[in-house]
Amino acid sequence: MQASLAQTKKTVARVATLALLLYGFLVGLDLMGIAFKLFGGDFAETLITTTANPFVGLFVGILATSLMQSSSTTTSITVTLVASGSLTIEGAIPIIMGANIGTSVTNTVVSLAHVTRREEFRRAFAGATVHDFFNWFAVLILFPVEYFTGYLARISRLVTSGLEGVGGIELFNPLKAAVRPTAQLLSGLTGESAIWTLIIGLALLMLSLKLLVDFLRVVMSERAEQVLHRTLFRSSSAAIVAGMLMTVMVQSSSITTSAIVPLVGAGIVTLEQLFPFTVGANVGTTITAMLAALSTGSPAAVAVAFSHLIFNLSGTLIIYVPPMMRRIPLALAAALGRLGSRNRVLAGVYIIVVFYGIPLLLLFISGAFSGE
């Protein structure tokens, strides 16, 4: 009886510790989002409203989402602008595509928490960047198709043609309700300073992740790993469904994919198991734009939201379903993980260049900031 009681207390303590570490991780993540909004929220919205052509729109989507650390925010702003008539469906779709790429910056930043342990970082960085490669390939394939045929806009209009007047649907986000007050309190203590909010967010994120990985390494017994592999990751289809449902519940693919990166770093989940989970998260994240669109009651806005869903489903069918195509992002991510583990400065350079440097450079070249 005493042994059973002691085991129960131990289990409760472990669950409480895990919940606390996850809460710290989520608060850190939310603080980073708040900080980037303080840095550039208005800037990002201005970017979206000044898109002049599809190529500009694509890189606007990448940059705006990288700044705000949330594709949900970018897509929600975009569908709202479409509903107001400030942006056309054709102008919104490239922004949605860019948002898909920009959203993967968060889990790539999260992987940096493992940078002090070479082998762990190799796995975590590869796990984070497989999301990057999947989204880049989806855009490289589907952007030209959309540019020349407009298939996303056409299908989306067709699907939403009977939804005139539908609206008013909202979904409660329990994680945001639990995390946001603490994040806002901490940001308020800095006087809503963007730089200090970012520093605190990064520090809390890194500390929580380090403690979380250490905790998982100690607690995750072989039996627990087997249970995990028999449930969420028992098959590719199960992992896709798990990623999709978890993202629908929290309304953020950044949170779901970032939460799995420490498991990959610790060697509990493999890169091959993570990939379908990421694909499912990509599909699940479309729910936020859909809800934002439905709340406007605008068929055009709903069409844009549907285009996001169709884009992610198309990417899944083209890149993930065929085994030969699936191996390309996996191989590139594994190679980048090895390269990053040998020269860890390159990981930081990769994030800065891919998510901020290239989009900014191309936007300046295109004249997006000069009104040309």
Q: Measured between alpha carbons, how far is 364 from 35 in angstroms, rounded to an integer?
A: 24
State the residue for tokens 């085994």.
323
pLDDT digits (tens, 9 = 90+) for 129-140: 999 999 999 999
* Residue 216 reports pLDDT greater than 70: no
From the list 72, 75, 96, 83, the residue with the least C-alpha distance to 167 is 83
Q: Measured between alpha carbons, how far is 94 from 277 in angstroms, rounded to an integer?
A: 24
Q: Measured between alpha carbons, how far is 364 from 226 in angstroms, rounded to an integer?
A: 51
Q: Measured between alpha carbons, how far is 254 from 175 in angstroms, rounded to an integer?
A: 13
Q: Is residue 183 part of a domain?
A: yes
Q: Is residue 318 part of a domain?
A: yes
Q: Is residue 371 part of a domain?
A: no
Q: Is residue 91 part of a domain?
A: yes
Domain count, the chain: 1
State the pLDDT at residue 276: 93
Which amino acid is located at 12 in the chain? V
Q: Is residue 167 part of a domain?
A: yes
Greater model confidence, 217 or 309: 309
State the residue for tokens 């992987």.
111
State the pLDDT at residue 217: 60
Band of residue 66 on the pLDDT scale cut at 50, 70, 90: confident
* Residue 222 reports pLDDT greater than 60: no
Q: Is residue 327 part of a domain?
A: yes
* Residue 84 reports pLDDT greater than 80: no
Average pLDDT, the chain: 79
Band of residue 338 on the pLDDT scale cut at 50, 70, 90: very high
CA 11 to chain centre: 31
| Residue pair 309/90 in contact by the 8 Å Cβ criterion | no
Is the pTM higher than 0.85? The answer reads no
* Residue 307 reports pLDDT greater than 80: yes
* Residue 142 reports pLDDT greater than 90: yes
Q: Is residue 372 part of a domain?
A: no
End-to-end Cα distance, the chain? 77
Stretch among 33-47, 53-67, 97-111 having the lowest mean pLDDT: 33-47
Return all residues near 38 (Cβ < 8 A) that are at least 6 apart: 187, 192, 193, 194, 197
pLDDT digits (tens, 9 = 90+) for 249-296: 766 777 778 878 888 888 888 899 899 999 998 888 887 667 666 656
In this structure, what token pair is assigned to residue 335?
């190679």
State the pLDDT at residue 190: 87
pLDDT digits (tens, 9 = 90+) for 4-38: 676 677 778 877 887 888 788 778 767 866 776 67
pLDDT average, residue stretch 147-165: 78
| Residue pair 362/94 in contact by the 8 Å Cβ criterion | no
From the list 111, 103, 106, the residue with the least C-alpha distance to 62 is 103
